[in-house]
Amino acid sequence: MEVDGGEWTGNSRFLIVNYQDGGILDLMRFLLSANKENAHKFLHYSDGGTPVVAEELTRVHDDTTAGDHRWVIFVSVIVRKLIAIFGKPMEWFGYLLDFILNLLSLNGNFFGLFYNILHGKVVMPQRGSETFISAIGHLDGRIDLYRTETLTKEIGEPDFWQKDIQLGIGHRALMDLCMMASKLAYENAKVVQNVVNIHWKMHFVDFYNCWNDFEKEMSTQVFILCDKPKDANLIVISFRGTEPFDADDWITDFDYSWYEIPKLGKVHMGFLEALGLGSRAKVSTFHEQLFMNNQNFTKLENDATIAPSESSESSTMFSDSDAHSVSDQSPESDRPTDAGSKKFKLDMPERTAYYVVRSKLKRLLNEHKNAKFVVTGHSLGGALAILFPTILVLHEEMNVMERLLGIYTYGQPRIGNRQLGRFMEAHLEHPVPKYFRVVYSNDLVPRLPYDNKTFLFKHFGICQYYNSLYVEQNVDEEPNRNYFGLRFLIPLYLNAGWELIRSFTMGHIYGAEYEECWESVVLRVLGLFLPGISAHSPVDYVNSVRLGKERSTQMSSF
């Protein structure tokens, strides 16, 4: 892996844990002896402009190559290698599974499909249509909101935003809207629009497919809604999370690479790439996006009309002669031909989520003078949901941040170090808390990336933790913070067994809407082998919000 084309920029500090260059034997040699030759295949590090690896790392970064810490790097690399090996089979299996699940659901499941085959009436799934549901959607088919009327009434009150109240537990309807929006983000644009407009009786604004420089494709997805089309009070931005069969998404979650932002702290490099804020292949691009704030884009974004949805062409209309600098990929033919040109078309095959969403959000806030906005996401989407306002603060978009109502994340991985957390807490804790990180039981993803003195990844904000009985408690850190603790091993598997048994009784105890489908039960069975995966399902996060009850005393680990 060549970093930055062999050039190292300014005073940038970063660590890239690379899994692609070295082989298994190289990795084993690195584990046994972190000499320069072995480490160079997996570690790329710059301490203020000077590239260093191996032994030098022990002096500049908390003994990274010490034996016990090499295990962390070893596990990260080996897991990502394995995921990459099975990447294509995972993708093919995902396509096949999506097709089968939709084929069954559109034809009335197994018996209905058999009947339709006999009578020549089989309904074939059409990917991208309003009836084509993702695997996540099949795991949890609920689409209606919880206490919708209560939420609509409250956010419509003139003094709602001025009330000195703590969001979260007291606003379970808002938590539910955010969780359902996080789950809905896994669907295609037509499904999202249909659910928002028809089932939620709200206003679908837009759906965006954006460039992810780590995955080298348009794989960062986000949609925006308002509570009503005119004079809206609430704007919701929902980022899509980790796709179950997308190897690159899982590789990002298991990545330990970071880029240090002066005054903010170390930030997960893969999540920055997912927002379109740089590329590890040319590290200087992080500096350009984060510190220069893409000035040419900023000049024109107040007048820009960002391309709407995946059904539209990947193009953008701008009213500024410098707009072509937004994308280095734009051809000369699409640039203005004279200085007096006011409007022109710009192809944006690499449009980025941060700038696209920021531009649209600014226009919505200008249009809806009384509105405040919420950012949300599940899994990887949760990481992007907290990182988005973090970059807004970095870029001193304080007029936008003043309109922030809250950030709700579900099963979110860590995005940076303690310094980053302290910086953002200063902006999100006063006058009332605005950031709520919801974690269910033994979910693996919130325990990633690894939290130790080498990598320094730390959670921050209020953790609303739910145990497997859906009992809620606000804690500083979820139990078993790195997941691999031996003393938690037996409880992990006991919990998985209990969750499987419970799946057969949920409908009887809580009502038909809580009855689990066969797809969810299959995932519970898989959870007997790797409990943290099944606990990441949106099913338990929706249940936690709707069934959760507070406990003031210390919770058990069960």
The answer to whether the CB of 45 falls within 8 A of the CB of 15 is: yes
The SS3 of residue 383 is: helix
Tell me, what amino acid is at 157? E
- Contact between 38 and 26 under an 8 Å Cβ cutoff? The reply is yes
Helices (H), 8-86: 24-32, 36-40, 55-60, 67-85
Phi, psi at 274, each rounded to 5°:
-65, -30
Tell how strand 372-378 and strand 344-347 pair up: unpaired
Pairwise CA distance, residues 230 & 102, whole Å:
36
C-alpha torsion 37→270→253→68, nearest 10: 30
pLDDT at res. 344: 31
Q: What span, in angstroms and rounded, lies between the C-alpha atoms of 139 and 208?
A: 24
What values do phi and psi take at 53, rounded to 5? -145, 170
Q: Which two tokens stand for residue 320?
A: 């500024």
Residue 203 zone, left/alpha/beta (φ > 0; ψ -120 to 50; rest): beta
Task: Kindly state the greatest CA–CA separation across the chain.
Answer: 73
Residues 6+ apart with CB under 8 A from 404: 372, 373, 374, 375, 389, 434
Scanning the structure block, which residue is given the tokens 């209905």? 112
**Between vectors from CA 248 to CA 311 and to CA 297, what angle results, nearest 5°?**
55
Q: Which residues face 440 on adjacent strands?
A: 466
Q: Does domain 143-303+348-478 have CATH number 3.40.50.1820?
A: yes
**What are the CA-CA distances from residue 503 to residues 136, 138, 391, 394, 523 (Å)?**
17, 15, 40, 44, 11
For the beta carbon of residue 82, count every other beta carbon within 10 angstroms: 15
Instruction: Give the Cα separation of 106 and 191 in Å (integer).
Output: 15
Beta-carbon contacts of 517 under 8 Å, excluding residues fewer than 6 positions away, are 138, 139, 141
What is the residue-level pLDDT of the chain in tens, covering all 558 positions? 444 444 444 567 888 888 887 788 877 877 777 666 677 778 888 876 555 444 444 443 444 444 456 777 888 888 888 888 888 899 899 999 999 999 999 999 889 989 989 989 999 999 999 999 999 999 999 999 987 666 767 776 766 655 544 444 457 889 999 999 999 999 999 999 999 999 999 999 999 999 888 888 888 999 999 999 999 999 999 999 988 888 888 888 888 888 998 888 999 999 999 999 988 888 888 888 887 665 555 555 655 444 444 433 333 333 332 223 333 333 333 333 333 333 333 334 347 899 999 999 999 999 999 999 999 999 999 999 999 999 999 999 999 999 999 999 999 999 999 999 999 998 898 778 899 999 999 999 999 887 766 557 899 988 999 999 999 998 888 888 887 777 788 889 999 999 999 999 999 999 999 999 999 999 999 999 988 899 999 999 999 999 988 654 443 433
User: What is the secondary structure of 258-323 as a DSSP string?
Assistant: EEEETTTEEEEHHHHHHTTS-BTTBTHHHHHHHHSTTHHHHHHTTT-B----TTS-SEEEE-STTG
Residue ranges of domains in the chain: 10-125, 143-303+348-478
545 in Cβ contact with 438 (< 8 Å): yes
Tokens 């249940």 locate to 543
Contact criterion met (CB below 8 Å) for 244 and 136: yes
Query: For residue 430, what pLDDT is reported?
Result: 78
Q: How far apart are CA 196 and CA 180, in angstroms?
A: 10
Task: Name the one residue in this structure whose structure tokens are 């084509």.
Answer: 132
CA distance 32 to 38: 10
- Residues with Cβ within 8 Å of 182's Cβ and at least 6 positions away in sequence, in order, are 238, 239, 241, 376, 377, 378, 381, 382, 408, 410, 538, 541
CA distance 68 to 312: 51
SS (H, E, C) 224-257: EEECCCCCCCEEEEEECCCCCCCHHHHHHHCCCC
> What's the pLDDT score for residue 7?
42
Q: How far, in Å, CA of 375 to CA of 392, rounded?
A: 12
DSSP 437: E
- Is residue 327 within 8 A of residue 350, CB to CB? The reply is yes
What is the layout of strands, in order, in the sheet containing 258-261? 51-52, 43-47, 13-17, 258-261, 265-268
The closest alpha carbon to 15, from 76, 68, 67, belongs to: 76
Radius of gyration of the chain (CA): 24
Name residues whose C-beta falls within 8 Å of residue 61's C-beta, 6 or more positions apart in sequence.
Answer: 15, 45, 47, 454
Contact present, 87 and 248 (Cβ < 8 Å): yes
Residue 230 amino acid letter: K
Catalytic residue among 138, 324, 459, 536: 536
CA distance 255 to 268: 8
Tell the residue number behind the tokens 């980025």, with chain if given.
Answer: 352
> Which residue spans within 294-395 are E strands per DSSP?
315-318, 344-347, 372-378
Is 536 part of the annotated catalytic residue set?
Answer: yes
> 372: which strand partners?
234
> Is the Cβ–Cβ distance between 103 and 112 less than 8 Å?
no
Q: How many whole angstroms separate alpha carbon 52 and alpha carbon 60?
A: 9
